[in-house]
Amino acid sequence: MKTRKKLIVYLLLLPLYFTTLSSCTNSKPKMEVSGFKDSKYNFAIFAENKRISFNLRNEKLEKLEEIKPFDKKYHFENESFSKLDNFSFTRTIDGWRVDTYLAKIGQDLSVKLEKPENFDVSSMTTSDKYFYLATKDSIYQYDENFKIINTAKNSSELSSMKIIDGKLYGLAPLFENNELIHYELVVFDESLKKIDEIKLEKLDENSTYMDMVFYKDNIYITETYNEKDSSGKPNPGNKILVYNLKTAEQSSIELKYPYPNQIYIDEINENLIIQNLEYYVPEDVWTVYSLKDGSQHQIELAKYRLPKEELSAPFFTQKDGLYYFLMSDSILQVDGKDMKEHSYSFKDFDIKSPYALLLEN
């Protein structure tokens, strides 16, 4: 009789056991992860096996602090990093869209995660007060605590967004009967009310434009791809479209190396810093274009990669006219004034798959 009672109790508890097991094995990542005790450093790195900070001493990295990794499963989307106050905002990537989170990263490498309203994020940016993200048909305005302030519907997906003079500019391809007819700049005020649409006449409808930056009245837009060839491979784009917001004049810059993708502005040295897609450019270079004299300089990353390393764009950041590339076992520093390079090795610190780099405030 006792055995039978035990069996009944066991059978009754069995579903609860599997429910509990399932909830444990499919648990979501922690919403908040604490960071360093001290947030003063020259460099701090997120890697798969740790978070670690360094100071520079005698041109070498000196370890300051090391703590557990943020999460082995998740990396950050480096192209989306934007600053707001003393935080960096981006999103996580792991190959599965259902596990995409918005991420708020502190200077101490603490991380706060939040589920977005929609995972189909096409672009992100920040103003001095808000954090914006665009999806296929909507734009969301968040405060720094991930509270949604405003939303707006948009008829086209924005491949890039920038805040210019307090207004939000989005680069939008417009389609008709599934055919691209032209590109335009969609302009919103701070409350996400649409206030203008600027047709970009000189953008080729056969090309794909991916990113943009603003400097001294001009918006610079990268032409990444042109038409596909017979094998389906996209032909290279090799231009930067220039649109002047005051005069509406459109011009273009022709680059020596093709497939310009992400673009950044160094206001101190007046340089455009351009990622040439490493998948299609065997030289594995980034281009620095001088807005002063039109000269072009290539930063060759191949010599800083490990043997047989799988190509992917390194994490890029900049400060005070210096550019920093996070490589697999080093930090490459390039001076935007004279293009001198210096590599800081961290191969002796057991750092596996580094994926994000923060600099001192």
Per-residue pLDDT of the chain (361 residues; tens, 9 = 90+): 434 434 433 434 444 433 333 333 344 445 789 999 988 999 999 999 999 999 999 999 999 999 999 887 788 887 768 888 889 999 887 655 556 788 999 999 999 998 877 767 888 999 999 999 998 889 999 999 999 999 999 878 899 999 999 999 999 888 777 777 788 999 999 899 999 999 888 777 778 889 999 999 999 999 999 877 777 777 888 999 999 999 999 999 999 999 999 999 999 999 999 999 988 888 899 999 999 999 999 999 999 999 888 888 899 999 999 999 999 999 999 999 999 999 999 999 999 999 999 999 8
Phi/psi at 21 (5° precision)? -60, -45
Supply the pLDDT for residue 227.
Answer: 76
d(CA 163, CA 30): 31
Side-chain-facing half-sphere of 37: CA atoms under 13 Å: 4
Supply the pLDDT for residue 95.
Answer: 56
* C-alpha to C-alpha distances, 301 to 43, 169, 273, 314, 327, nearest whole angstrom: 20, 32, 14, 9, 9
d(CA 146, CA 296): 40
Supply the pLDDT for residue 293.
Answer: 96
- Per the confidence metrics, is the pTM higher than 0.85? yes
- Answer for the pair 43, 53: CB distance below 8 angstroms, yes or no: yes
- Answer for the pair 17, 36: CB distance below 8 angstroms, yes or no: no
Burial grade of 303 (CB within 10 A; 0-12, 13-18, 19 or more): exposed
Supply the pLDDT for residue 99.
Answer: 66
* CB atoms inside a 10 Å sphere around CB 145: 9
d(CA 179, CA 110): 44
